[in-house]
Amino acid sequence: MKKEKIVIALGGNALEKEGIPATAESQLETIRETVRYVVDIIEDGYQVIVAHGNGPQVGRIVLQNEGAAHLTPSLPFDVCGAMSQGYIGYHIQQGIKNEFKRRGKDNGVISVVTQVVVDQNDPGFKNPTKPIGPFYSEEEARKLEIEKGYNVVEDAGRGYRRVVASPKPLQIVELEGIKTLIDTGLTVITVGGGGIPVIKRDDGTLEGVAAVIDKDLASEKLAKDLDADVLFILTAVEQVAINFNKPNEKWLSELTIAEAEKYITEGHFAPGSMLPKVMAAVDFVKGRPGKKAIITSLEGALRALQGETGTVIIDR
C-alpha cells in the first residue's frame, strides 16, 4: 500500500525556545525534542518531507557578519541564508537519525541545499515584510532604523523585528533530485528557510539575491510539486483563531477556502505570523479535492492527523 506523502513545515518554535540563549547547543537540544514528533508520524506509516524556517537564525548570522566586518569581509545576504539552511538542516538531519537509532531503526535522512527561483521584479523587494533576527524594544528598533537603515516593524504583539524582502517562490531548482531521494525511501529535508532565493538570468544561469522566502509559501510550492497528500504547517498554537487574543476569540477546527479567504480579507491573521500559513494552506488545497492542509502545534501533530485537533483546510 502506497504511503500518504506529507510535507511538514517546521516553525520557529520547533527550532528554538523563547527565554533560552540562542546558542547552537540549545537549538540542537530543542530539535532533539522536535524530531520525536516527526519520527512518530513516520512510524505511523507516512512518507515525510521536512521543510523549516530560518528567520531568527539568518538574522543572527547577518548580525555576526556586520559585527565582524572589521576582521573579515561580510558575506552577501543569500550566502548567509545558505549558511542557515546548512546548519539547521544538519541539526534536523542528525536529530532524526539519532531518534531513529534510539528506536532501533536505521532509516536514512538527508538534507538538500535548495535554491528557489524568484522574480527579480517581485513587489516584495519594494515592500519588506519577512521578520528576521531577534526581537527588539521600540527604542532599540528606532535606533537600528537610524544607525543601520534597517526596516523594523512591530511583530504580532511580540516586539519589534527587522524585516527584509520576501518574494514569492516560483521554482525549486533541485526538485528532480529531491524526488529521486524521496523515491529511495530517504527522509528528505529541503527548502530550508524557504530556500536560497535566486533569480534566473536570460541565459538560464542563476544568481543569489538578498531576500528570505517565506517558508510556508515555499513548503506549499514543494508539497504541490511533489503531489503530496497533506501540507502540515506546525506552529505555536493547536488551531487557527479569528479575533485572536480578543474577548470574542474563536478557535477553528475546519476552514473552507471561502471562509479562509473571507477571514483574510477581514484582517484576522497577522502578516509574518498566521497570514502566510493560511494563505499557503488555501493555495495548496484550492482546486485539488482530496488534498488537505493542517495547521497545528508540534505537540498536536499526530493527533491532528487522526482528526483530534488542529485546523484542517479543505476545498469544498
The residues that are catalytic are 12-13, 130, 215, 277
Cα separation, 21 vs 220, in Å, equals: 31
Task: Single out the residue of 152, 10, 7 nearest to residue 85, CA to CA.
Answer: 10
Q: How far is CA 290 from CA 42, 133, 313, in A?
A: 21, 38, 11
Task: Single out the residue of 93, 63, 61 nearest to residue 80, CA to CA.
Answer: 61
β-strands 47-52, 171-172 pairing: unpaired
- Residue pair 218/196 in contact (Cβ under 8 Å)? The answer is no
Cα separation, 78 vs 75, in Å, equals: 8
For residue 250, count other CB atoms closer than 10 A to its CB: 12
Task: Single out the residue of 41, 47, 34, 11 nearest to residue 277, CA to CA.
Answer: 11
Task: Single out the residue of 96, 130, 97, 90 nearest to residue 112, CA to CA.
Answer: 90
